[in-house]
Amino acid sequence: MIFCQCNFFSKVLKNHVNVNVLLPSMPDNECFFHEYNEIYPENKKYKTIYLLHGALEDYSGWIRHTAVERYAEEKEIAVVMPSGQNGFYSNAVAGLDYFDFITGELPLFVRHTFPLSEKRGDNYIAGASMGGYGAVKCSLKCPEQYGAFGDFSGAVDPEKLEPLMAVMGFEIFCYDLIFGGAEKVTGSQDDLYVLAEQLKSLEKKPEAFIACGLEDTNNYAMNARLRDTLYKNNFKVHFEDGQGKHDWEYWDTCIRNFINYVVR
């Protein structure tokens, strides 16, 4: 696997950004027995997962905390890991336009730089916690771009989550700057349940992969509700729960299972 650490100027975010990219390659030992044109094939385009981190993390989180490189290598799929700060991967009311960056500029940059497929069926987006919200939102608002999305313990209902986080002492999200207030999400175009209902009649929908551990008491109910909402609106849904907390140990299993689900 090729591990690339990229830094480039984002027109959308108006500053330099860091992105980690994993690219499939021939295993090291096999290179001794192949010619250059076999090691570096021309015109090969790779399937791609855009993998989003949760709150308090950045573009390095998935590499540091999981075996995503090994899982991706086994299935020969590229992985793009950007940063989204604590902004719910949304165009903030008063802040940066992370939604436009993730769905617009980032794919243009990585496809310009690396041999990645542009086909809808070869592109997927996934994330954990806040990244789960971002993955679902990007996919439901841009269903023509992704063949499937992965929601791992997603913070998929910000209004319900706000008081739960406050009780825990984690008042880390500036909901007023992102959404104009957490209460403004429900019923709006930031509401994932609303977005799912709007796609009921869409013929080509992204497939949904949702996973949330039974021990994740804050997020389990909202993810089960999202699962049910997607089912009702004619989405193909794969749902996993079982033993698991809101942590990297569980999300390591999630990304392994998601990669196996989309590359089969």
The contacts of residue 251 (CB under 8 Å, 6+ apart) are 65, 66, 128, 152, 153
The pLDDT of residue 31 is above 90: no
Query: What pLDDT was estimated at residue 35?
Result: 87
Range of lowest pLDDT (34-38, 72-76, 141-145): 34-38
Asked if residue 158 lies in contact with residue 132, where contact means CB atoms within 8 angstroms, the answer is no
Query: Within 10 Å of residue 130's Cβ, how many Cβ atoms?
Result: 28
Query: What pLDDT was estimated at residue 194?
Result: 98
Which ranges of 169-235 would DSSP assign to H, the alpha helix? 175-178, 192-198, 220-232
Query: What pLDDT was estimated at residue 26?
Result: 80
Give the residue numbers spanning the domain of 133: 2-262
Query: What pLDDT was estimated at residue 230?
Result: 98
Query: What pLDDT was estimated at residue 38?
Result: 83
The arithmetic mean of pLDDT across residues 184-190, rounded, is 96
Query: What pLDDT was estimated at residue 134?
Result: 98
**Residue pLDDT, tens place only, 82-103:** 999 999 999 999 999 999 999 9
Q: pTM for the complete prediction? A: 0.96
Query: What pLDDT was estimated at residue 181?
Result: 93
* Six token digits for residue 229: 């909402």
Number of domains in the chain: 1
The contacts of residue 236 (CB under 8 Å, 6+ apart) are 205, 207, 208
Query: What pLDDT was estimated at residue 162?
Result: 87
- What is the band of 264 on the pLDDT scale with cuts at 50, 70, 90? confident
The arithmetic mean of pLDDT across residues 240-251, rounded, is 96
Give the CATH number, domain containing residue 54.
3.40.50.1820
Query: What pLDDT was estimated at residue 170?
Result: 74
**Phi/psi at 51 (5° precision):** -115, 115
The span from the CA of 102 to the CA of 245, in Å, is 27
Name which residue leads in pLDDT, 222 or 27: 222
The pLDDT of residue 109 is above 90: yes
Query: What pLDDT was estimated at residue 249?
Result: 97
**Residue pLDDT, tens place only, 148-178:** 999 999 999 999 988 888 877 777 788 999 9
Q: Which of 43-47, 143-147, 164-168 is the most confident on average?
A: 143-147
The span from the CA of 221 to the CA of 172, in Å, is 21
- What is the band of 57 on the pLDDT scale with cuts at 50, 70, 90? very high
